[in-house]
Amino acid sequence: MTSVKMTVNGREVSGEVEGRTLLVQFLRDGQGLTGTHVGCDTSQCGACVVHVDGEAVKACTMLAAEADGAQVRTIEGMANEDGSLSTIQQAFQDHHGLQCGYCTPGMVMSAAALLKDNPKPSEHEVREYLEGNICRCTGYHNIVKAIMAASGQDVSRIAAE
């Protein structure tokens, strides 16, 4: 077993993990942060995306021990300080960017990482960025729309589907 310590959503946490313990297991099982989902065992779905030191990372592809000392942010840390939804979360709600919601935490975390690096992405850039996130419900259209709306762009030209 190895001791790990990291900051998760602004709170310092620590624990004992096995060498093979994945970051997603540490967050879900060790910290009870079950908003980070596991949707596959092939590292393809993106439901597990979190931020590690500001970068979007699939938490099923990283060992908990590798995140030792890191700043980690999960979907539970995305709301505003007063508990209201962040701009991206609100845009998903306003533009119906979710149905079952299983992919949504990963989508929101990926969207936040995209907008940090590219504050006004084109529709093509959003679609390209989301290649690592699978949604089985929405057909992606409203997710793209929500992300573009969250970036402050006019989405009225993006036809409803």
Q: Does 136 bind ligand FES (CB under 6 A)?
A: yes
Segment contacting ligand FES by CB under 6 A, of 27-35, 75-83, 131-139, 144-152: 131-139
Q: Taking CB under 6 A as the criterion, which residues in 51-70 touch ligand FES?
A: 58, 60
Q: How many residues bind ligand FES (CB under 6 A)?
A: 21
Nearer to ligand FES, 86 or 99 (CB): 99
Q: Does 85 bind ligand FES (CB under 6 A)?
A: no
Q: Does 99 bind ligand FES (CB under 6 A)?
A: yes
DSSP assignment string, the chain: -EEEEEEETTEEEEEEE-TT-BHHHIIIIIT--TTS----SSS-S-TTEEEETTEEEETTSSBGGGGTT-EEE-GGG-S-TTSPPPHHHHHHHHTT--SS-SSHHHHHHHHHHHHHH-SS--HHHHHHHGGG---SSS-SHHHHHHHHHHTT---TTS---
How far apart are CB 92 and ligand FES at their closest, in Å?
A: 10
Binding site for ligand FES (CB under 6 A): 38-40, 43-48, 58, 60, 98-103, 135-138
